[in-house]
């Protein structure tokens, strides 16, 4: 789960990281009021969306009057901000963060990520702050400092000092840098984050070390341990298909193709998507119904997949271990009776109770296209979708 910059800054400040004074606003008037409350004469108004690259996309405005703040807000509120991280559809701006403008002397990049190869938290830092890490690693790879943290002892002060020295920070500021690194590391590990990124972390003219931007991502599977983090979720920033699925206990990933996939297990989802591509099609999503799926759950899955207007064929691919093919088949039949499914449906079942499952599908009298292997299923899905386009929907299930 991603959170907003202002939320990440609040969390990091609790862990001892310095951030500029700032306040949240839901309207242009509130933004200028917040600026007055903050005091000073230069502010930065920042669109709160779950994506980086806002600066270059018109989502960060430096303002020197309340009038300029309202102007900047008028441009941003209600718009869709398109950055290189949002995709073409962009992300809606419903909140802005008003912050004191900070005089920047030096900018750093600071990131904390899970490094799968060492199975450790890795700190990635560079004195080339302000640029995206992808650009830094392409243009200035030598500037990148990497350091992995030994989980049994956590980040040690000497290790944090080593990073600070490697970044070439002034000796008088090393202890502030260590405090920042320690704060980020503790926030990362205590809150089960999967990523903490401060870009830029700046040194100011008056020798402060301040996080000007902050991004945090959390492990969804650990959110139950952190209700105070879980409640920071902002559904307006998520793919509505994915949040609807999450609310129903299903795991859904929206994609751009037109074959809807209902599967059990992420591995099977990957294999199904690969096979669809191999057969010349493109998946519209991957929807994982998980283990032990009841007919109701399968029906819910169909409703979700059919709510995506791009879906022109549905492929159900189940390898039942804990699941039971007969239950899945019942779910498919139930769904086709209840839900408006006006596209071809291809079902491939294997594993527990497969014969019973096939019988249920055959007896239903519904025009379900059956397949025995994954390749066959993918080819039939792609074929049915292509035929469907050329035959004027004759294969569609009449309701």
Angle between helices 325-338 and 354-363 (to 10 degrees): 20
- In the complex with ligand ADP, the residue whose CB is nearer, 52 or 295, is 52
Cα separation, 106 vs 261, whole angstroms: 49
Angle between helices 66-76 and 28-38 (to 10 degrees): 140
200 lies in the site for ligand ADP, by CB under 6 A:
yes
DSSP character for 353?
T
52 lies in the site for ligand ADP, by CB under 6 A:
yes
* Span near ligand ADP by CB under 6 A; candidates 49-57, 216-224, 244-252, 262-270: 49-57
- In the complex with ligand ADP, the residue whose CB is nearer, 102 or 313, is 102
Number of shown-chain residues binding ligand ADP (CB under 6 A): 16
Q: Look up 26 and say whether it is catalytic.
A: no
Cα separation, 209 vs 206, whole angstroms: 9
82 lies in the site for ligand ADP, by CB under 6 A:
no
213 lies in the site for Mg ion, by CB under 5 A:
yes
Q: Which of 6, 97, 109, 185 is catalytic?
A: 109
Q: Which of 70, 197, 242, 330 is catalytic?
A: 197
- In the complex with Mg ion, the residue whose CB is nearer, 8 or 245, is 8
53 lies in the site for ligand ADP, by CB under 6 A:
yes
Angle between helices 174-190 and 5-14 (to 10 degrees): 110
Q: Which two structure tokens, joined as six digits, stand for 361?
A: 């599908």
> Least distance to Mg ion from the beta carbon of 107, Å?
10
Q: Look up 109 and say whether it is catalytic.
A: yes
- In the complex with ligand ADP, the residue whose CB is nearer, 54 or 396, is 54
**Sequence-separated (6 or more) residues with CB below 8 Å from residue 364:** 333, 336
**Sequence-separated (6 or more) residues with CB below 8 Å from residue 154:** 185, 186, 189
Cα separation, 249 vs 348, whole angstroms: 23
Mask of contacts with Mg ion, 170-209, x by CB under 5 A? -----------------------------x----------
Cα separation, 247 vs 166, whole angstroms: 46
Q: Point out the residues that are catalytic.
A: 109, 197
Which residues of the chain form contacts with ligand ADP (CB under 6 A)? Answer: 20, 44, 46, 52-55, 60, 99, 101-102, 130, 199-200, 212-213
Which residues of the chain form contacts with Mg ion (CB under 5 A)? Answer: 199, 213
């Amino acid at each position: 789960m991603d959170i907003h910059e202002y939320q990440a800054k609040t969390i990091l400040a609790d862990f001892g990281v310095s951030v500029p004074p700032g306040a949240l606003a839901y309207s242009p008037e509130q933004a200028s009021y917040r600026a007055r409350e903050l005091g000073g004469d230069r502010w930065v108004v920042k669109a709160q969306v779950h994506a980086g690259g806002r600066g270059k996309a018109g989502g960060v405005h430096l303002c020197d009057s309340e009038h300029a703040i309202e102007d900047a807000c008028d441009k941003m509120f209600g718009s869709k901000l398109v950055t290189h991280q949002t995709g073409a559809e962009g992300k809606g701006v419903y909140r802005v963060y008003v912050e004191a403008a900070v005089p920047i002397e030096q900018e750093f990049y600071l990131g904390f990520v899970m490094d799968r190869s060492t199975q450790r938290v890795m700190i990635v830092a560079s004195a080339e702050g302000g640029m995206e890490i992808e650009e830094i690693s392409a243009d200035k790879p030598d500037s990148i400092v990497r350091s992995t943290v030994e989980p049994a002892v956590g980040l040690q002060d000497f290790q944090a000092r080593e990073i600070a020295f490697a970044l070439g920070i002034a000796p008088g500021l090393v202890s502030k840098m260590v405090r920042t690194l320690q704060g980020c590391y503790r926030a990362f590990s205590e809150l089960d984050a999967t990523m903490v990124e401060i870009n830029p972390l700046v040194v100011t003219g008056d020798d402060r070390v301040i996080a000007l931007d902050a991004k945090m991502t959390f492990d969804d599977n650990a959110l139950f341990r952190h209700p105070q983090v879980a409640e920071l979720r902002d559904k307006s920033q998520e793919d509505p298909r994915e949040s609807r699925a999450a609310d129903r206990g299903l795991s859904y990933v929206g994609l751009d193709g037109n074959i809807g996939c209902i599967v059990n297990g992420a591995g099977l989802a990957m294999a199904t998507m690969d096979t669809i591509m191999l057969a010349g099609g493109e998946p519209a999503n991957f929807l994982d119904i998980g283990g032990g799926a009841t007919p109701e759950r399968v029906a819910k899955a169909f409703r979700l997949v059919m709510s995506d207007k791009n879906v022109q064929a549905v492929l159900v691919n189940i390898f039942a271990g804990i699941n039971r093919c007969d239950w899945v088949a019942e779910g498919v039949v139930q769904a086709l009776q209840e839900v408006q499914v006006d596209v071809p449906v291809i079902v491939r079942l294997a594993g527990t109770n497969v014969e019973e499952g096939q019988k249920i599908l055959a007896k239903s009298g519904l025009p379900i296209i059956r397949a025995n292997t994954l390749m066959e299923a993918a080819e039939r899905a792609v074929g049915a979708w292509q035929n469907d386009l050329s035959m004027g929907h004759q294969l569609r299930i009449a309701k």
